Structure 1
């Protein structure tokens, strides 16, 4: 489950409602390309803007169209009872694993985060990926907290938002059953060369063949070729950029993101159009 390339597609909306037809059309190329797993309702999937009922429906839809490819579903939410309900529904739908970041309106303490993961993991029957995403949650795991959480039952992977300097030391202290994953697509090549096991990829959610080529080669040159796109990701956020790309390609309706989020528009969108034409992504 937690190896290779995990593709994170958009959850497209149409008139503010889940667009199931567009979603399944986004999934088909990922399945056909042979990505190693699908990351559903992650940050790219706008999970925080959707109702529990919508999330359960989207999960069932993803599993039914995955053609046997493992599906990981985000269960992050503000309330514990919502997290546990989402976990139960994901497991019942056939999800192979779940993903959780420490989401909170009030910034959490290390003790609170540990108690959250301790409570949730003891209720799971599938593996969980721990998501360290301080840019979104406002909370950053210390190494010691990460080791403690990784030792909890059912933890199968850690999704880092950076490439630590001491990768070998971190791996040595993580349980053998816990893989190391990277997000932030521009970091993928260096992370995979450093020994990371899995790339949790926004790019792969729309351009699976390009992402697979980079994941398999691990070559910095291939990543450098994509630097104009990475620069837009860093400047505007990968969600807004990849949504604009999907809109321009006719893959999703415009607007595809939940209000008030917007895909990039104006001059940045024109810049993206030129970049996509030049890169000829697949």
Structure 2
């Protein structure tokens, strides 16, 4: 199976206040994902604080993950401000066995559509690592126009896209993007609360933050959707509605850090200046975890 199909589970990257990765805790988190049988592991995504880590620490994180992931493919974040730096990070990821690089158009200065096309084309060409487009306008403040996605899908080595939730109807967005991109181009979505629906209407991949924390229930939804058991997929998605509410209220990143703390998997906090959830939020998260059906909070 392609690494950009099914559930790509994105864990946090536990690190101390100085940005040094806790590889023991990371291995523990990776073990949960491989034991659950996720389709790929999304290392160093936004939840995995890739932009807050040095190149050396990214390498340490990749090395620790590679030791634990077995045959589970790694999708590794390779974003950087400069094209040359992103290409070198992608080269590092390829050398350490990553299957795909996840590239976002991070920038201080606003970028044009042509500048992003050249940036992605250069990273794919110079690294030799298959690249997935990371469309994350909430952090990059860049909007991929349909024409740009179409052009990039035809660049050798650019193999898929991780979409944010569409502004319009999911079915229409997926249909339009599918018709405008190259054959075999993988189309997936992030922001977990929209992803079960995306899978149920034919998306290739769920890029899951909760999948990196509670992989079993997210994988169960994925498998139900792939089997076209929409009743079961919807039942499980509905059971997770309180978690999606936490994500909207406190952000997915802050919420999963606290879930991981409450499960005893790591005491890591988000990198400053990001603060952990407040005390009331911790209580909200604890109450939601207690209220989930048996077995889901594992």
Q: What is the root-mean-square deviation of aligned Cα atoms in Å?
A: 1.3
* Partner residue of 2:282 out of 262, 269, 272: 269
Structure 2 residue runs of 5 or longer lacking an equivalent are 226-232
Say yes or no: does 1:35 pair with 2:38: yes
SS of the equivalent of 1:129 reads strand
2: CA distance, partners of 1:266 / 1:278: 19
Moved more, 227-236 or 215-224: 215-224
Q: CA deviation at 1:232?
A: 1.4
- CA deviation profile, 1:68-102 (whole Å, cap 9, x unmatched): 11001110011122111101111111111100010
3-state secondary structure, aligned to 2:184: coil
1:239 aligns with 2:253: yes
Instruction: Measure the CA separation in 1 of the matches of 2:279 and 2:109.
Output: 35
In the alignment, the residues of structure 2 paired with residue 245 and residue 103 of structure 1 have an alpha-carbon distance, to the nearest angstrom, of 28
Return the structure number with greater relative CO, CA threshold 8 A, min gap 6: 1
Equivalent residues in 2 for 1:215-254 (5 A)?
Answer: 215-218=222-225, 219-253=233-267
Within 5 Å, give how 1:192-231 maps onto structure 2.
Answer: 192-218=199-225, 219-231=233-245
Q: Out of 95, 114, 121, which is 1:92 matched to?
A: 95
CA positional deviation for 1:12: 0.4
Out of 98, 102, 107, the residue aligned to residue 104 of structure 1 is 107
Normalising by structure 1, report the TM-score.
0.96
Query: How many residues matched?
Result: 281
Matches within 5 A, 1:123-272: 123-163=126-166, 164=170, 165-218=172-225, 219-253=233-267, 255-272=268-285
Which runs of 5 or more residues in structure 1 are unaligned?
A: none
CA contact (8 A) 2:91 2:129 kept: no
SS of aligned partner of 1:83 = helix
Conserved in 1, the CA contact under 8 Å of 2:25 and 2:265? Answer: yes
C-alpha distance in 1 between matches for 2:179 and 2:82: 34
Separation in 2, partners of 1:166, 1:271: 34
* Structure 1 residue ranges, 4+ long, deviating more than 3 angstroms after superposition: none
Q: Offset of 1:204 from its aligned partner?
A: 1.0
CA distance in 1, matches of 2:278, 2:30: 25
